[in-house]
Each structure stands twice: as C-alpha cells, then as structure tokens.
C-alpha cells in the first residue's frame, strides 16, 4: 500500500533506523513445527504426512482466519469489558514491548502531530494541546497480554468513536490503521474502533502518559489483547484494506478479541 514517506513530526529519524533492525522477524520463529517431539508423535499416530511444515503452517493460518470470522461474530458493540475500582490499579504499571524500556521511542511533545489520513473529511494533523482540550473519558480495565499475564490499569483520553466522528471519518470503512513512532503498526476492525470503551488514550492514572506507557498516544482497546493496543501512535488511517500489523504478520491471530 503506498504511504507518504515524509518525516513523521516529533519522531527522531535516527532512532527509528536503529529500532528498525529489531523489526526483522527471527527466521527460526517462522517455522512453528521444526524439531518438535510432539509432532513426531502425532505423525506416527496418524500415519500420514499432515505435519509437513509449510502445509501444516498454511492450514493453521486458514483456521486462524476462520477464527477471525468467529471472533468478529462473537464481538458485541454493547458488551463492555469489566471495570474495576481505582484501588485495583497496578502501580507502577508493567512496561511491555519487544524492546527494553530504555529503547522505547522518545517523542518530542512540542513538535508532535498526530497525522490523519484515509477515508476522513478533515485530514488536518492534531497537536497535543489540541487533543488535550477534547472531552475526556476514563476507564479502569484489565489489559490482557497474549502471553497470558494481565494487569489492571487506569486510562484517560478521548473516546475513539467520538474522535472519528469529529474528523468526519467514514465509519462504513472496514479498518483503522495505526502507525507508531518506533515502526510498530496495527490494524483494527471498525466495529472495535467504534466500541464505547475504545479510547485514544492520553493519560495513565490521570497523568500524561510517560515514555514507558506510550507517550504521547496509546490506543486502549479493552476488548482486544495487549498487542492490539498500539503505543507511541503517530498516524491514524481509515481504510478498506487490511494493512496487517507487527505481530499479526508474524503469526499472532489478527482479530485477537477478548
């Protein structure tokens, strides 16, 4: 998909290049099946070659796509994620990324602009002072990581559905795509983007997001696994094509709904 290559405001290009090296998938990780004893046991049980690497991997991806479809139907726009009292919030909240906290992107808030694109009426970029003026909503919800652990956090920001309305987004479009300062990216389905708890998050625990928690913007989606909650967001596009995402492209289930 063609994307403008102009520099993203507030992002240190040198650091971006440094981080880009980490984005290359580890080759061994792409083979889910190599040298696995359990698979050998399966092969001898079935007596046929269903566990031939690429064949099995393709079959698993087909079923994963089917699971996307199932999850989209299980998803309800009105079912809310359970909420908790502020006293349940984990403090300090757990930092999590595929890099160390020291390597998290440093975004300059003074020059930062949230870039808007795709199927929207008003493509004007947004500065942080402009975003901080918008009506604030708050939630205390559980962030569930794909690894299995979870943590309760308190997030404040703009309801994403309100923001989409404000910029005149075509909500009949299928996807919303997010680009992040360190090169991370994420695509979510429009029904999830319009869920009342999906938030363009500016604060954690009523304080402006710190570098560790995704300054200046995190998209908080309590109906999806943590990796579908992008941090350090620099651009948002409303579109009809699925642009994938950092982890989805390496094999995590696309919908990853909760």
Partner 1 sequence: MTIEAAAPSSLAPDAAVRPLIHPGWVRVTHWINALAMLMMIGSGWQIYDASPLFGFVFPPQIALGEWLAGALLWHFAAMWLLVINGIVYVTLGVATGRFRSKLFPIRPREVVRDFVAALRGKLAHDDLSVYNAVQKLLYAGVLLAGLVIVLSGISIWKPVQFWWLTAFFGGYNTARYVHFAAMTSIVAFIFVHVALALIVPKSLRAMIVGR
Binding site for partner 1 (CB under 8 A): 28-29, 31-34, 36-39, 41-42, 45-46, 57, 59-61, 63-64, 67, 74-76, 79-82, 142, 144-150, 222-223, 247, 250-253, 257-258
132 versus 252: smaller Cβ distance to partner 1: 252
Question: Least distance in Å: CB of 191 to partner 1?
Answer: 13
* Vertex 247: Cα angle to 220 and 50 (nearest 5): 135
Token pair of 105, please?
Answer: 């992107």
DSSP-based helix, strand, coil % in the chain, nearest 5 = 30, 20, 45
Question: Least distance in Å: CB of 250 to partner 1?
Answer: 6
20 versus 50: smaller Cβ distance to partner 1: 50
What distance in Å separates the CA atoms of residue 29 and residue 126, rounded to the nearest whole number? 38
Query: What is the full DSSP assignment across 206-241?
Result: TEE--GGGTTT-EEE-TTB-GGGS--SEEEEEEESS
Question: Least distance in Å: CB of 184 to partner 1?
Answer: 16
Beta pairing partners, 201: 157, 218
83 versus 127: smaller Cβ distance to partner 1: 83
Question: Least distance in Å: CB of 87 to partner 1?
Answer: 15
The CA radius of gyration of the chain, in Å to the nearest whole number, is 19
Question: Least distance in Å: CB of 33 to partner 1?
Answer: 6
Polymer length of the chain = 258
144 versus 235: smaller Cβ distance to partner 1: 144
34 versus 133: smaller Cβ distance to partner 1: 34
Burial class (CB in 10 A: 0-12, 13-18, 19+), 226: buried
Question: Least distance in Å: CB of 158 to partner 1?
Answer: 21
Residue 253 φ then ψ, to 5°: -60, 135
83 versus 125: smaller Cβ distance to partner 1: 83
16 versus 145: smaller Cβ distance to partner 1: 145
Among 105, 121, 104, 123, which residue's Cα sits nearest to residue 113? 123
Question: Least distance in Å: CB of 254 to partner 1?
Answer: 11
């Amino acid at each position: 998909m063609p994307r403008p290559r102009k520099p993203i405001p507030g992002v240190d290009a040198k650091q971006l290049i440094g981080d880009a090296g980490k984005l290359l998938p580890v080759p061994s990780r792409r083979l889910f099946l190599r040298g696995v004893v359990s698979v050998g046991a399966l092969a001898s049980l079935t007596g046929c070659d269903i566990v031939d690497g690429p064949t099995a991997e393709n079959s698993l991806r087909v079923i994963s796509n089917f699971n996307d479809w199932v999850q989209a139907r299980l998803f309800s726009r009105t079912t809310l994620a359970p909420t908790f009292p502020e006293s349940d919030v984990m403090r300090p909240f757990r930092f999590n990324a595929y890099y160390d906290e020291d390597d998290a992107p440093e975004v300059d808030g003074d020059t930062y602009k949230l870039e808007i694109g795709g199927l929207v009426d008003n493509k004007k970029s947004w500065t942080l002072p402009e975003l901080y003026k918008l009506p604030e909503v708050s939630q205390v919800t559980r962030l569930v990581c794909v690894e299995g652990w979870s943590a309760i956090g308190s997030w404040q920001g703009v309801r994403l559905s309100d923001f989409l309305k404000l910029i005149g987004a075509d909500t009949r479009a299928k996807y919303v795509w997010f680009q992040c300062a360190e090169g991370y990216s994420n695509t979510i389905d429009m029904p999830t983007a319009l869920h009342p708890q999906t938030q363009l998050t500016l604060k954690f625990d009523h304080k402006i997001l710190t570098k560790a928690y995704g300054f200046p913007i995190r998209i908080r989606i309590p109906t999806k696994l943590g990796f579908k909650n992008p941090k350090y967001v620099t651009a948002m596009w409303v579109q009809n094509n699925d642009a994938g995402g950092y982890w989805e492209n390496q094999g995590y289930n696309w919908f990853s709904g909760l």
